[in-house]
Structures are given as structure tokens and as C-alpha cells.
Amino acid sequence: MDPYKFRPSSAHNSNFWTTNSGAPVWNNNASLTVGERGPILLEDYHLLEKIAQFDRERIPERVVHARGASAKGFFEVTHDISHLTCADFLRAPGVQTPLIVRFSTVIHERGSPETLRDPRGFAVKFYTREGNFDMVGNNFPVFFVRDGMKFPDMVHALKPNPKTHIQEIWRILDFFSHHPESLHMFTFLFDDVGIPENYRTMPGFGVHTFTLINKAGKATFVKFHWLPAAGERCLSNEDAVVVGGTNHSHATKDLYDSIAAGNFPEWKLCIQVMDPADENKFDFDPLDVTKTWPEELFPLQPVGRMVLNRNIDNFFAENEQLAFCPALVVPGVYYTDDKLLQTRIFSYADTQRHRLGPNYLMLPVNAPKCAHHNNHHEGFMNFMHRDEEVNYFPSRFDPVRHSEKVPIPSHVLTGKREKVMIEKENNFAQPGARYRSWAPDRQERFVKMWIEALQDPRVIPEVRSIWLSYWSQCDKTLGQKIAAHVGGKANM
């Protein structure tokens, strides 16, 4: 065995206790003292190492998506889309790619109940032959805001009050009263689908518009959809109280137990595609994350299936250290000018560097499974074995070369520097249409959620009037139903 290439693993554990450096520990029960009852000696290195290690066991939890559960499996292509993309892992039906998935709640702490009304994260890491592809999405197809500039303020508003450390609805309604683009998202969050029954019966969406590129360089806009084979099921407010009171980790337990029993969760991956030349033909901006693409115009097309057939081996190593970033794409998949996506390309990797260190992509769960090469080196927790003398490029002593050229969108960009809102906001049409598509009893449950929210004693009349105005512009009868119970008039 080459000791310089040995990576620590519990598979190589000795049959007796040792220090981190491998020295044998003959007593792991008692501290080294002066006499039987004397003070502890500073030279008891094993004690100091054990306590110091324990003090540092916890790493910073995620700012968002702190509460989550992971599982491993594979993705299998079932339909040929090679005419749309040159991505190797999508090259032909039957091709399988290993992956890991992390489901999560968004706002609340690492130990919070999984039954809270909150968006859910749905993040998939594909370990492809061309590097890792992170499809980072949510269980709703839209989002609260369309520009990343608003993201920190949005999270602050949704998080607990910094004075009381309690999530308070008046703060949420105050912030979003300034952002009518959030209405569509609230038709999901305050709807019957606001609390998934478990992770197995939860859909997932890429939310953003990405670009697929084929071998000829032709670009196609795409939206990703994960549809659960078990069907979508959710909890009512009343059921959530019962389930959460019984087990605050019900969704994590359900996922783990199902896989352990051989009842492997499965999802179908479907896509919607659009020719970029058509993006200005609609009354909404297709790159706006607060909008969906009408399925009658852009039908769902099946691509493949995902099966989760393995539980993780260690929660810390494969859940807490698992890190996603929507910037991680592979040849054949690229970004768009979606303003929120453009922000996340930086933000996600940056937060992981803060939380896990600059070399977080060396951690086994995050590392690519294909051969890779670069000159990034040193820094905290860098355990890459290197014996090269050349760590720069180019060099006559290092034969490494550029890869073959990868196609990326080539449209010409023109314009002046400016900070502007999306021109076609159209904030009310899609939320209103979604509300009108529901059965009457489902509409009433949505109305009840808003009545309760707007009756909070700290919601000021001005904010209440703004929300009545918003919902009236979505649907006149919806605004009237809410106003009949909360009082006040729409501030049109």
C-alpha cells in the first residue's frame, strides 16, 4: 500500500482505540490526573483532542434548506432527445447515470418539523462521465421573486423575527406587499399542495429556464419537471399537526424506510421546450421565474426516470456535506439570462465555500466521478495527493491540453448598462387562472388561509388593502371573498 495515496476510511478501522494520528489509546474512559483525585494534566493529549474535536463537530447549517434528507440511485434515459442536446448522459435510451438527491424544507432550522408550510427543495446531482450536473430546484414550478437582488431581503422576511426569533406573518405580508410578482408562488404555498405528505410523493421543478444545445450548436430553452410515480399527495393543515406532533422527521423516516423495504421511490423526468426565437411572442417573459409555461402551448415531453434505491451511508458525509450549485452544468446544458439564475450561479458555490471550505468539491459526495484536472491547490482541507512540479498553465513540462470545444449559446448581446425591471411583469393573470382552475372547496381553503393571514393583529390596514387589491386584480370574486371577512377596501 502506498501510504501517500491512502485515504482515511472506516473500512480500515483498527480493533482498538487510537488518536487521530493513529497512536494507540489504552484508556478511553478516564482523564490523566495527578494522583487518583488530582487535577487533570494538560499533557493528556488524547483528552484534549477528543474534547476539541467534539467542540467542532457541528459545521454551520445552511442559511436556507437546512433541514433535509438524501438518498442515492440512478437516472435512466427512456426517450431520445439527442436532437436537442449533446449531453453525454442523455445520449440514448437505456443510458444510466448514478446520482444523489437531497430533499429539504427551505426556511426553517436543521431540526425543525418537516410538516411546516414551506417550499421544499428538490436537488439532484448527476455523476456523469463529463462531470457533475446539479439540477437544483423546488417542489413548486415558480418562485417568489424574479431578481436575485431581492433574495437576501426575501429570506430575511421569511426567517424568524430577529428580535423574537419567531416567524411572523406580518413581516412576510409586509415584504411581499411590495412585490406582486410573488402572487403566483402564494397560489402554491397557501394552496392544498403547500405541505407535501412525504418526499416520495412530491414533484420537483427546475424552476429556471435552462438551455439545451445539440451537436450542431442549436440552442433550445428548456424547463425540467420531476413527476412522482406514486402520484402527488399532500397534507391538510389538520393532518400536518397530527403527523408533525407524532414525528417531526416523518418525511426523512418515510424515505429511509421505503428504500430499506425495497419500495424504491421513482420519478419521471419531463421537459418543456421553446425555441429562443419565440421568447417575445407571449404576454409574459419566459425567463421570468414567477411564470409557468402553459402546457397547452408547451406540452410535457418524457425524457427518463429516476429511481432511488440506496440509502446514504452516513448522514453527515452525504447530507450535511452534500453541496449543490446550479452553475454545475455539463456540455449540452447551459444557462439563460434568467436574472435569478444568474445570481444563483455565484451564490450557491459561494455559500458552500463559506460553509464547507474552498475545497468542498473534493469531499467524496461532491467530487466528480470522472477523471478531472486543474491547478487549484492548497487551501483549507485540501487532501488531494499531488506530486507534480508544475502547477501552472501552459507549460512544456505538462502535456495537459484544452478539451474539445463545447457548444454554448452564441446569440449577440447588445444594450447599455442599466438596472430595470422585467418589462412584461403581468403579475396577476397566471395566479388568477390557477385559482379559477380549482374546485370550489379548494378555493375556499385558499381563501381561509388568506383570511387568517390578513387578520394577524400586526398586519397594518395599508398592507391589508394592498393584498386585497392584488387578489382582486387576480380574480374579482377572490378579492371580494377575502375582503368580506377581513374588512377594508382594495387599494387599487
Q: Which amino acids are annotated catalytic? A: 65, 138
Q: Which residues neighbour 301 within 8 Å (Cβ) at sequence distance 6 or greater?
A: 79, 81, 270, 271, 272, 273
Which conformational region is residue 44 in: left (phi greater than 0), alpha (psi within -120 to 50 degrees), or beta?
beta
What is the grid cell recorded at 381? 482541507
Which among 473, 468, 463, 466 has a CA at the least distance from the CA of 483? 468
- Residue 329: closest CA among 310, 349, 309: 349
Cell of 479: 378579492
Instruction: Please give the torsion angle defined by the CA atoms of residues 86, 91, 92 and 95, in that order, rounded to the nearest 10 degrees.
Output: -160
Q: Could you tell me the CA-to-CA distances from 310 to 205, 265, 314 in Å, in that order?
A: 22, 10, 12
Q: Which three cell numbers stand for residue 241?
A: 399537526
Nearest residue to 306 via CA among 34, 29, 74: 74
> What are the two backbone dihedrals, phi and then psi, of residue 193, each rounded to the nearest 5 degrees?
-85, 10
Residue identified by cell 433541514 is: 67
Give the 3-state secondary structure of residue 118: coil
Q: Residue 124's CB: how many other CB atoms inside 10 A?
A: 23
Identify the CA nearest to 345 among candidates 127, 211, 148, 186. Answer: 148
Residue 303 burial by CB count (10 A; 0-12/13-18/19+): exposed, middle or buried? buried
301 forms beta bridges with 271
Q: CB-based burial of residue 491 (10 Å sphere; 0-12 exposed, 13-18 middle, 19+ buried)?
A: middle
- Nearest residue to 240 (alpha-carbon basis) of 188, 184, 192, 168: 192
Helix axes 339-356, 151-158, angle to 10 degrees: 70
Nearest C-alpha neighbor of 228 from the set 82, 101, 90, 87: 101
